[in-house]
Amino acid sequence: MLESERQRIDEINAAMTRLFEERMQVSAKIAQVKVEHQLSLTNVGREQEVIASQVAQLKDATLAPYLTDFYRDVMLISKQYQAKTIKGLGQTK
Ligand SMILES: O=C(O)C(=O)C[C@]1(C(=O)O)C=C[C@@H](O)C=C1
């Protein structure tokens, strides 16, 4: 019971983990540019744009509120990582 569904979830999780890691690496690079140009970490307009464009790609529109929450969480985690990255800049240890 549920073996094949859990196996598929495991495969999807593995793909998401790989993409998560890649996304966080890009996020850290953005953080460095933001420091150099003295930009704030949060860009509300960009966050709205990300959510709207991803929601528009859904085939099942009933998932819109869940995908919105998902990207809100992803971007919050991204900003937490950016803040930690920035704190580490210029430190020798
Ligand atoms: O695009 C940016 O400016 C980012 O810092 C990336 C990102 C994201 O993780 O997608 C994170 C924080 C911003 O508020 C908007 C988007």
**Cβ of 85 below 6 Å from ligand 1:** no
Q: In this predicted complex, what is the ipTM?
A: 0.98
Instruction: Choose the residue to mutate in 79, 81, 84, 86 for probing ligand 1, maximizing ligand atoms within 8 Å of C-beta.
Output: 79
pLDDT, position 88 = 83
Q: Report CA(1)–ligand 1 centroid distance (Å).
A: 41
Instruction: Please give the domain boundaries of the chain with CATH numbers for all domains.
Output: 3-88 (1.20.59.10)
Q: Would you give per-residue pLDDT tens digits along the chain (93 residues)?
A: 999 999 999 999 999 999 999 999 999 999 999 999 999 999 999 999 999 999 999 999 999 999 999 999 999 999 999 999 998 876 665
**Cβ of 30 below 6 Å from ligand 1:** yes
d(CA 64, CA 49): 14
Q: Are 82 and 30 in contact (CB under 8 A)?
A: yes
